[in-house]
Structure 1
Amino acid sequence: MTLPGFRISGMRAVGAAVLAAGTLTAGLPTMASADPGDYTTKVIVKNRTGEVMVLTHSQVTDGEWIQYPPETIASNGIGRMSTASSEDEGGTGGTVTYETDYGDVVIYWNDPDTSDKNDFKCDAPDELTCSTIGSPNGQHPILNVDIFD
């Protein structure tokens, strides 16, 4: 079966018009909003103790993991993890718990998508010192956690 020449030309013209319309529409500016992953938080844990820290709990409270926390952090080692927003205009946050011979070390972070400041905390047993340094503002903070005995 063959189609008349004008019918094929017409089909090509329609296809070209649809393609051109799609290309033009894709180039139009849109309202600015956060895309998934616009909010990220990197967490760097420096274990400055003589103990191996063992992960017992991890949870993303807002968003998703983009780098899972390590199962262990060696004595005088470094552990890295990261979370990101997973929805339009979403923030990100999480918590991890590492077990030591002295008890649990709990690290918490929250990078909201609002004008609220970022929140970072570290709770450790009395025998350990835990300090956090992170940016109080911004969409891409890096949280540094130092744990000493």
Structure 2
Amino acid sequence: MTLPGFRISGMRAVGAAVLAAGTLTAGLPTMASADPGDYTTKVIVKNRTGEVMVLTHSQVTDGEWIQYPPETIASNGIGRMSTASSEDEGGTGGTVTYETDYGDVVIYWNDPDTSDNNDFKCDAPDELTCSTIGSPNGQHPILNVDIFD
């Protein structure tokens, strides 16, 4: 089957116009913005106690889980979790609560899209010590939480 000459030349003209428009717009500068997932926070919990910690509550306050918190963290074990932004110009944050024989250990993190006002906290019963260390600033902070008796 052959197409009439005017139809082929019309298709060529449309194709050329599409290529030209794509080339012109590809060269234009655009404003950089954070894509979903640009802000992430990794949380590493080191349970240096003699007991198992059991998850009783978890909530993302900004963003979404990309690695869910473990249901339990073994005695002298490590638990990992991670959140990421879910929208342009978004930050990430969350909270988890682990039950122990002494009471609840609550871990909180907030990594807003400004990336320099990060907030990390850990509250534990008097019988336990909970410290946060690591890299608190930037788009991809790692929160290290040490819990010991």
Question: Taking structure 1 as the reference length, what is the TM-score of the superposition?
Answer: 0.91
Alignment partners' CA distance in 1, 2:13 and 2:118: 54
SS for the counterpart of 2:16 is helix
TM-score with structure 2 setting the length = 0.91
Farther-moved stretch of structure 1 (135-144 vs 12-21):
12-21
| Aligned match of 1:108 | 108
Structure-2 separation of matches of 1:72 and 1:20: 58
CA–CA distance in 1 between the matches of 2:111 and 2:44?
Answer: 15
Contact 1:118 1:135 in 2 (8 A): no
Q: Which runs of 4+ in 1 moved over 4 A?
A: none
Give yes or no for contact 1:120–1:134 (8 Å, CA) kept in 2: no
Give unmatched runs, 5+ long, in structure 2: none
**Cα 1:28–1:104 shift into 2, 3 Å:** same
CA distance in 1, matches of 2:88, 2:133: 28
Change in CA separation of 1:115 and 1:56 when aligned onto 2, cut-off 3 Å: closer
Asked if the contact 2:50/2:76 (under 8 Å) is kept, the reply is yes
User: 3-state SS of the aligned residue for 1:134?
Assistant: strand
CA contact (8 A) 2:93 2:110 kept: yes
Q: How many residues align?
A: 149
Q: CA RMSD in A?
A: 1.8
Q: How much identity, in percent, do the aligned residues show?
A: 99
Give a deviation string over 1:84-107, Cα, whole Å, max 9, x none: 111111111100001111111100
- 1:136: how far off? 3.3
Q: Deviations over 1:12-51 (max 9, x none)?
A: 3312421442354245321011111111110000011111
Structure 1 stretch 85-94 or stretch 27-36: which is displaced more? 27-36
